[in-house]
Structure formats: C-alpha cells, structure tokens
Amino acid sequence: MGSSVEISADSLSCLSEVAPLELVLFDIDGTLCDSDPIHYQAFRVMLQEIGFNGGVPISEEFYMENIAGKHNDDIAKALFPEDFERGLKFVDDKEAMFRRLAKDKLKAIDGLYKVTKWIEDRGLRRAAVTNAPRPNAEQMVSTLGLSDFFEALIIGGECERAKPFPDPYLKALEVLKVSKDHAIVFEDSVSGITAAVEAELPVIGLAAWNHENLMKANPMFLIKDYEDPKLWAALEELDKKAGKA
C-alpha cells in the first residue's frame, strides 16, 4: 500500500482484536458534522460582545484548547471562573445561537453516509455519545437524517460525569448490552478520545481541524474524514478478520 493508507501494525492489531465488531459509537460535534466552525463563530461573536479578553476576538487556538469537546459546565468555569452562574447563562444563550446558525450551515463530515451504510450493511449496533446538550444533539442528528440510524443517544450531562470521564461511553455499552471488546469509537476531541480510552475502547480520531494534540490522547490512528483510505484499509482488515472468525 502507498503511504496514504499506512497504519501502524500496533493500531491494526488493536482494531482487529474487536472482531467480530458489534457496536460503533460516534461523538456528534466535529465527528458526524463539521460543527466546530459554527460553535467557534458563536463563541467568538458573543464573547466579543461582552468584552471578554478586552474585546479582542478569541482565536481558533483558544477555542480548540479551552472549549472544543468540553462539557458546558467546564466551559462556563473556564470562561467565567469568578461567576459560574453567569457562565452557565452565557453557554445556554450561546447554544441557542448555535442552533439558529446550524439550521442552515450544518454539513456532514465527508464520507459519513458511506461509513453509516457500511455499518448498516453489516447489521452493527450504533449509538451517539456526546457532551452536547440534548436539544443540540437531537437537532444535529435530525438535520443529518440519522434519527433512525442511532439506537441510542447518550448525553454526557445526563451521566454522573461527562467526557473526559469514561461514564458516557460506559453507559452506552450498558444501554446497548455490548462488550467493550467488540466496539469501536469515532471521536474528534482530546476530551472525547480521553473518555473512550478510559473506557478501554479503541478510538479512531478525526482530525478535520488538524489537531496536532489529538495523538497525545492515544487514539489508534487519525483520519481526515470518512473518505480517508486509512479508515477503509482498517475496515477491510476487520472484515477479513471477522470472516476468518
């Protein structure tokens, strides 16, 4: 194979150990859809309006480091350490702005429907596991036409602890009654990858925003999107392993 489809032997070995694959778990924001630019826009506009950072708009780097993938409670604490209640009100208002923007701007990650068809064709179980508030999660899944695709929607804020703790992924395994030994995860943030790894689940990371720090959270490997040849080489190996089993 060419370099574009090269995956480390360790990664392939780890992934092949889940054969036969029974369950695929997806984060939503940045994993099913390219929502990070919409969230970034909403935060950038609203934070500037209230004079955050001296009125200087936040950078993409600030957004990725302090906001992306995190639960709203943690974002509120980070942005408003002296006034948590104000922070909670701010992130609630920001989510309302996100939902308004997302109605027209939300787009599926390239190749998403190709991989969902692969999953459906093999009769695999599937669930979405997200730190997004339920109204956001339901709107995004519906806008993408995946309401009937997912068997369950696990919300981090409805668990004892949200990502980066493993609780949402452990709840998904419990709800769908599938062993962690036969499941894989798609994630796009350090917080999400950390949660899945802590749940002892193999993770494929999506690096649409080229997050150099994603590898620090120990995904098996990174892909640009669901068209990435690395992904399909890995899924082909899974099919072969399952066939032998």
Annotated active-site positions, please? Answer: 27, 29
* Distance in angstroms (rounded) separating the CA atoms of residues 84 and 72: 11
- The upper half-sphere exposure of residue 126, i.e. CA atoms within 13 Å in the direction of its Cβ, equals 21
Cα 111 to its chain centre, rounded Å, is 15
* Distance in angstroms (rounded) separating the CA atoms of residues 37 and 127: 24
Distances in Å between the alpha carbon of 164 and those of 170, 174, 197? 12, 18, 10
Report the SS3 class of residue 90. helix
- The upper half-sphere exposure of residue 22, i.e. CA atoms within 13 Å in the direction of its Cβ, equals 10
